[in-house]
Amino acid sequence: MTDKNEKSKTKVSVGRNVFSWRPEVSVVIPAYNSAAYIAETIESVRNQKFRDLEIIIVNDGSPDTHELERELSPFIQEIVYVRQQSSGAGGARNTGIENARADLIAFLDSDDIWLPEFLASQIAFLGRGFDMVYCDAVVFRDGSPLRTSFMAGSPSAGEVNCESLLEGRCNVITSGTVVRKDALLKAGLFERGPVKAEDFHLWMRMAKQGSRIGYQRKQLVKYRVRPASLSGDTVDRIVRSIDAFRRVGETIDLSSSELEIIDRRLQRFHADLAVARGKTYLVNGEYQKAATEFSEASRCSRSLKLRVISLLARVAPRTLLRIYRSQRVADPSMLLG
């Protein structure tokens, strides 16, 4: 292995078996706390029917670097390996793009898996005049036989544009994307730093600048839900959505109709947040706090169902708790109806 570049914060090493010529596709894989999954992810790239590619692994200051590099050792002569100080998922992907030699960039998270026909199918689809394409995925959990479609819960329907992205009519899974590098550069790449939903922000900027984005309904990716994310805090997820929509509204030059969508979605997010907190208080027997949160949710959404829930929380909280438990509501959206 030879060092290609070494700076105070970034070290790039190129395996001796990496193609000397410029490949058609650069596969960018940011790695952070993913040593347990990285080998399977890399194998899914090596097993692609489409072969003219390079693999770029960006170790984004991962605390499991020792374990990660042990897992990378069988592949190290076949990849471009970058080590840098942690700059977040967006910064890691940007580093991958900056080191990519191809005109096409394919993004893959370090715990997800491509099916063998992913690149061949997506590149052919991209050739229909798109600047970026994405696909559906099979959502799976380790140790569980259950499999669901990503688009079943996060659908894509109709043209991909700013409004459809904001309204949630089109939802992009980053591990299913293939993008023209010049479109990424034109849009300004991913946001850097400790922000969430940096990919959504980039897709919005690309759509705003006129990039043509398309999607396939083919399930070409296996999207892993980790145990940590299964137990992940619903409140945190909603807070991240609120932050992302606020950032989009404040940093992208949107039309009045697009800003109205953001205001409407933020109202719904705030209702969801209040419901999630109310649910926690209800289960913990903190009925007064639960009533306050459900009342706030009702105010934000003006939903008849939430008005009933808010009333029950005030006058018959134990009855509401029995209903909640009997229905085994696992997500606040189910309470919202």
CB-based burial label for 289 (10 Å; 0-12, 13-18, 19+):
middle
3-state per-residue secondary structure call for the chain = CEEEEECCCEEEEECCCCCCCCCCEEEEEEECCCCCCHHHHHHHHHCCCCCCEEEEEEEECCCCHHHHHHHHHHHHHHCEEEEECCCHHHHHHHHHHHCCCCCEEEECCCCCEECCCHHHHHHHHHCCCCCEEEEEEEEEECCCCCEEEHHHHCCCCCCCCHHHHHHCCCCCCHHHCEEEHHHHHHHCCCCCCCCCCHHHHHHHHHHHCCCCEEEEEEEEEEEEECHHHHCCCHHHHHHHHHHHHHHHHHHCCCCHHHHHHHHHHHHHHHHHHHHHHHHHHHHCCCHHHHHHHHHHHHHHHCCHHHHHHHHHHHHCHHHHHHHHHHHCCCCHHHHHC
What's the pLDDT score for residue 303? 86
Q: Is the pLDDT of residue 329 over 60?
A: no
CA–CA distance, 95 with 163 (Å, rounded to integer): 29
Q: Which CATH superfamily is domain 2-230 in?
A: Spore Coat Polysaccharide Biosynthesis Protein SpsA; Chain A (3.90.550.10)
Mean pLDDT of 108-137: 98
- Residue 232: pLDDT band (50, 70, 90) is very low
Percentage of residues in the chain having pLDDT higher than 70:
93
Q: Is the pLDDT of residue 231 over 90?
A: no
What's the pLDDT score for residue 273? 94
Mean pLDDT of 9-14: 91
Q: How many CA atoms lie within 13 A of 256 on its CB side?
A: 0
Q: Is the pLDDT of residue 229 over 80?
A: no
Q: What are phi and psi of 4, to 5 degrees?
A: -90, -35
- Residue 328: pLDDT band (50, 70, 90) is low
Mean pLDDT of 306-317: 93
Residue-range domain boundaries for the chain: 2-230, 234-336
What's the pLDDT score for residue 227? 67
Closest CA to 229 of 217, 240, 215: 240
What's the pLDDT score for residue 2? 44
> Is the separation of the CB atoms in 26 and 56 below 8 Å?
yes
Q: Is the pLDDT of residue 194 over 90?
A: no
Q: Is the pLDDT of residue 51 over 60?
A: yes
What's the pLDDT score for residue 334? 44
What's the pLDDT score for residue 205? 98
